Chain A
Amino acid sequence: MATPSSLLLFIASLLHLLQWILEKSQATRLAQRLLLWVLAAGPIPQHVAFVMDGNRRYARSKGKIVQEGHGDGYMALRRVLEICLRLNVRCVSVYAFAIDNFKRSPDEVEALMYLAESKLLELCAHGNLLQEYDVRLNVIGRTELFPEYVQKAVVKAEGMTRKNNRSILNVCMPYSSRDEMTAAVESSIREALEKGDNDLSTIENITEDTINSHLMSVQRGSPPLDILVRTSGVKRLSDYMLWQASPVRSIMNHALRPVQCCENTQIHFNKTYWPDFGLFDFVPIILKWQRSVWFRQYEVSSRR
């Protein structure tokens, strides 16, 4: 009992020491890039989504005010986004603001609105992250619920990155998955009614794929969701990408079908508060993804 725990403590302290040295020295950036270069040699997910949870608990634990917590959360977003882009992840989605978040105190909501306005424009500005990595920004959600100045910022920011097409950043705000599904159902119906005037077959041809293709995130070019990360130890999806996170892959029949690798969504519940989330939290997630891809490839090849 004592031996493994002391061994583990030893390993943990070694890792912490290593992390500390890396943080302090100028070598950090270089070491990170090396690590990411190594990781990028294996399979890389196409679409990663984050529920950026824990800003307020982080602020409380550090004795900061809530607004500072959100500010640090934005810095974490920049950090994680850059990691993903260096790894060539094609699409990154983040849950920035839930429709339900309007229920929070007016002070906090207002501060978040100002943060959203200024940071959206900052991210998209000339020479900043999104331009450097050729990323198109999509704001997914019911933006009409925002105050006017934020709506203007959204339009402007999206316009600034419209021509970029190497990667996609979906900032989901004010978003809820049920709202996205409802809108998809609604537009599927409209399309069917417009197309086939008096023809029932267009209606009968509505399938789950039809609805899927009408989801706002899919229409803006997002590939199927590969990984969903929720931070701060909460083990719920809280109305985020419910449809995308629950794809079906029949296990029993999959020997009979042409198997596509990795059509499932891996869900990670991470204990770290979002502002603390960084490379050392993200690397294990990528490693697990790579294993499951290799494992599935092995399964498929051994079955043939």
Chain B
Amino acid sequence: MVLAYLCLALLHAVYSLVVLSISFFKHLTRPNPLPLNASRRRVPQHLAVLFVPETDFDQGTNEHCILESVQRAILWCQQVGIPQLSVYDADDIILNNIGSIERVPTLYSSSQEPKVDRERIHYPPTPPLSDYAESRPLSPSEDSAIGQKSFITLAISSPRATTRHSKNSGSLTLHILTREASKPAIAAMTRSIARAERKNAKSQTKLSISTLEAHLEGKHGLSPPNFMILHPIHPSKYHRSPIELHGYPPWQIRLTEIYCNRFRKQYEGRLMWFLPSHVSSALLSSSLTEWEFREALDQFAGAEMRLGK
């Protein structure tokens, strides 16, 4: 047993060397992505960005990186012409700092200020189904009675300068997803269907995928993203472990293409492991970069969708 353990340690050491050399090689040879405004074969119609905060970093660093990334993503989506953007983190950091996202104009010169038009708050479908089916936006005062918000939608109008591509280019719908938009939303839907079923007790409950789809993705639901960028705040640490989905709403990711950049700041991370965390967090944390965003768009443009055929 001890022998096996020693061999395993050796195996891990050899593997580390192999991974290190391969990633070094890839680092040298990776191609430069196309520029942001290049015309690509396909552009996602709904982009999701999943942020992975880092436990070792203090809250301020995590918040700063995530919010900066969100602001950048909004800007790039408008430039590329992506009409829908969902942002998610498992700790509701974005939701708790929603005020700073509404101050997006700092990114623009004053003449082209985008405006956050209106705000829609989506609650899990807790009232009975019949009520839910009507378009009845709930007022925030009911918040405490109902529980947590599921997700928030902001409409961001376009800055004038970027409207040259197409007529809807530039205006953006931003969804800020919370943990409640994930499996709890499916549970809430289940409860509301159950309540409705209880009233017409005779019938045997029969559900189809399209019924659930109408609930979860319909008018008050969350539409599925066709592309997802996974953005860990501490890339070099995350690099060591494979991709995880951190509770992103499962129903919606059926056909979502997933992108994660595994090579950011990898060497810095390896070289600075001895630094105290408050120093390294300042050096290693990273927001979404344009390079990453362009590379992600390239991956999406190259993906082949067969839909089961």
Interfacial residues, chain A to chain B (CB-CB below 8 A): 1, 4-5, 7-8, 11, 37-42, 98-101, 103-104, 176-179, 181-182, 185-186, 188-190, 192-193, 200, 203-204, 206-208, 210-212, 234-239, 242-243, 245-255, 264-269, 284-285, 287-288, 290-292, 295, 299
Q: Which residue of B lies closest to A101 (CB)?
A: B308
Residues of chain A within 8 A of B242, CB atoms compared: 266-268, 285, 288, 292
Q: Which residue of A lies closest to B179 (CB)?
A: A248
A254 to B189, Cβ gap below 8 A? no
A239 to B194, Cβ gap below 8 A? no
A246 to B186, Cβ gap below 8 A? no
Of B8, B182, B187, which one neighbours A42 at CB under 8 angstroms?
B8
Q: Is B271 in the interface zone, CB < 8 Å from A?
A: no
Q: Which residue of B lies closest to A104 (CB)?
A: B309
Residues of chain B within 8 A of A292, CB atoms compared: 240-242
Q: Is B247 in the interface zone, CB < 8 Å from A?
A: yes
Residues of chain B within 8 A of A252, CB atoms compared: 53, 55, 59, 91
Q: Which residue of A lies closest to B303 (CB)?
A: A235
Residues of chain B within 8 A of A251, CB atoms compared: 52-55, 90-91
Taken together as a complex, chains A and B put the C-alpha atoms of A1 and B5 apart, in Å, by 37
Q: Is B35 in the interface zone, CB < 8 Å from A?
A: no
User: Interface on chain A toward B: helix, strand, loop, or mixed SS?
Assistant: helix
Of A190, A207, A246, A295, which one neighbours B205 at CB under 8 angstroms?
A190
Q: How far is the CB of A107 from chain B (nearest CB, A)?
A: 13
Q: Which residue of A lies closest to B191 (CB)?
A: A206
Query: Can you identify 22 A-B contacts, CB atoms within 8 angstroms?
Result: A11-B21, A39-B11, A41-B5, A178-B209, A178-B251, A181-B186, A186-B207, A188-B194, A193-B198, A203-B191, A203-B195, A234-B304, A239-B254, A246-B248, A247-B245, A250-B91, A252-B91, A255-B55, A268-B242, A284-B15, A290-B8, A292-B242
Q: How far is the CB of B216 from chain A (nearest CB, A)?
A: 10
Of B5, B28, B245, which one neighbours A246 at CB under 8 angstroms?
B245
| Given A8-B22, A236-B255, A208:B8 Cβ within 8 A | no
| Given A8-B21, A246-B250, A295:B190 Cβ within 8 A | no
Residues of chain A within 8 A of B117, CB atoms compared: none
B205 to A186, Cβ gap below 8 A? yes
Of B259, B299, B308, which one neighbours A100 at CB under 8 angstroms?
B308
B272-307 CB contacts (< 8 Å) to partner A? 299, 303-304, 307
| Given A5-B25, A41-B4, A206:B182 Cβ within 8 A | no
| Given A189-B190, A211-B186, A245-B250, A41:B308 Cβ within 8 A | no
| Given A5-B29, A186-B205, A251-B90, A235:B299 Cβ within 8 A | yes
